[in-house]
């Protein structure tokens, strides 16, 4: 049986460590602070931001939730970011994505002070990550690395294949694995003979954003699969394609009218030596690493 890598337990351990660091800083009169910026009223974004604010409260981190209407302009968002950049009690600035189409997202993310860029999206921090210098790394890729390390999965000398080339997950995950001495191949939707490459992977990171995209035939027996995908299925025929015969999932689908699935077909996990489930795998690590980055930013800003 493949080993399930419990992201919930690993995230809880990291949160405990962060709480200890917050207490240590409090003894020196320092309280890390996070500003969370939410634009519009997208239900999923509201849930994500609320969970981040709740995590701050549970760990003793100061948080300031700032909301703006769907109609906000790029100029107004620039003014907001400029004001947060100079607020001394704010160590981290989180801008919840996606933003409305009229807002220049890339320009706005680059307007954040790199020292407060706890999402690790700023061009300066991306460059530091590429160069292997100390920086604030994107939360999901950093969480992937924590799952592998804390689960005792060897990285050095292993062939890691990352399927997905986004600036948020794919590229930074590849860089972090490379810095841990893995041999890294980056693939994407236009890669020819994709299965030939994924079948070579000792560590397979699926971050392409397509439900059940990685099938059993694409997985090397015994590989470690890190499933970053988070796709919601609401169609009955699509549900049957992935989960037919799964009584637990069928009950959940009947009750809620939807279920979550990653970028890996459930049957593919049977090939693995270890894997992250969806939900309960990579997802919880994203918030845990955001908290860790906020504390790290607070320390770095003060030269600690």
Tokens 């500003």 correspond to 35
Tokens 């690790």 correspond to 120
Tokens 């990579």 correspond to 282
Which residues have a Cβ under 8 Å from the Cβ of 125 and sit 6 or more positions away?
114, 117, 135, 136, 137
Q: Which of 52, 116, 171, 220 is catalytic?
A: 52
Q: Which of 15, 91, 96, 220 is catalytic?
A: 96
Q: What's the Rg (C-alpha) of the chain?
A: 20
Whether residue 149 lies in the annotated active site: no
Q: Which residues, listed in sequence order, are joined to residue 114 by a DSSP beta bridge?
A: none
Whether residue 15 lies in the annotated active site: no
Whether residue 119 lies in the annotated active site: yes
Both tokens of 120, joined, read 């690790």
CA distance 234 to 148: 31
Question: Residue 280's closest CA among 5, 56, 18, 54?
Answer: 5
Q: Which of 91, 119, 202, 263 is catalytic?
A: 119
Active-site residues, by number, are 52, 96, 119
């Amino acid at each position: 049986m493949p080993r399930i890598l419990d992201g919930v337990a690993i995230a809880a351990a990291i949160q405990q460590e962060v709480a200890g660091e917050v207490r240590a800083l409090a003894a020196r009169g320092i309280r890390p602070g996070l500003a969370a910026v939410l634009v519009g009223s997208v239900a999923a974004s509201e849930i994500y931001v609320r969970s981040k604010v709740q995590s701050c409260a549970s760990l003793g981190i100061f948080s300031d939730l700032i909301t703006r209407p769907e109609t906000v302009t790029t100029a107004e968002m620039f003014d907001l970011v400029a004001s947060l950049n100079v607020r001394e009690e704010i160590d981290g600035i989180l801008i919840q994505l996606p933003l409305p189409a009229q807002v220049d997202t890339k320009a706005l993310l680059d307007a954040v002070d790199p020292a407060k860029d706890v999402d690790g999206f700023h061009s300066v921090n991306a460059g530091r990550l590429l160069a292997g210098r100390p920086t604030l790394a994107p939360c999901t890729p950093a969480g992937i690395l924590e799952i592998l390390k804390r689960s005792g999965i060897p990285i050095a000398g292993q062939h890691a294949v990352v399927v997905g080339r986004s600036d948020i997950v794919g590229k930074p995950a590849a860089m972090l694995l490379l810095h841990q001495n893995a041999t890294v191949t980056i693939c994407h939707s236009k890669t020819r003979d994709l299965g030939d490459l994924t079948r070579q992977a000792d560590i397979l990171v699926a971050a392409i954003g397509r439900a059940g995209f990685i099938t059993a035939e694409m997985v090397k027996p015994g590989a470690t699969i890190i499933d970053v995908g988070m796709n919601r299925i609401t169609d009955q025929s699509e549900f049957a394609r992935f989960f037919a015969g799964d009584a637990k999932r069928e009950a959940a689908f009947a009750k809620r009218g939807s279920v979550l699935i990653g970028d890996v077909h459930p049957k593919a996990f049977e090939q693995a030596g270890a894997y992250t489930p969806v939900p309960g795998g990579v997802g919880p690590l994203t918030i845990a690493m955001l908290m860790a980055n906020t504390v790290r930013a607070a320390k770095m800003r003060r030269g600690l």
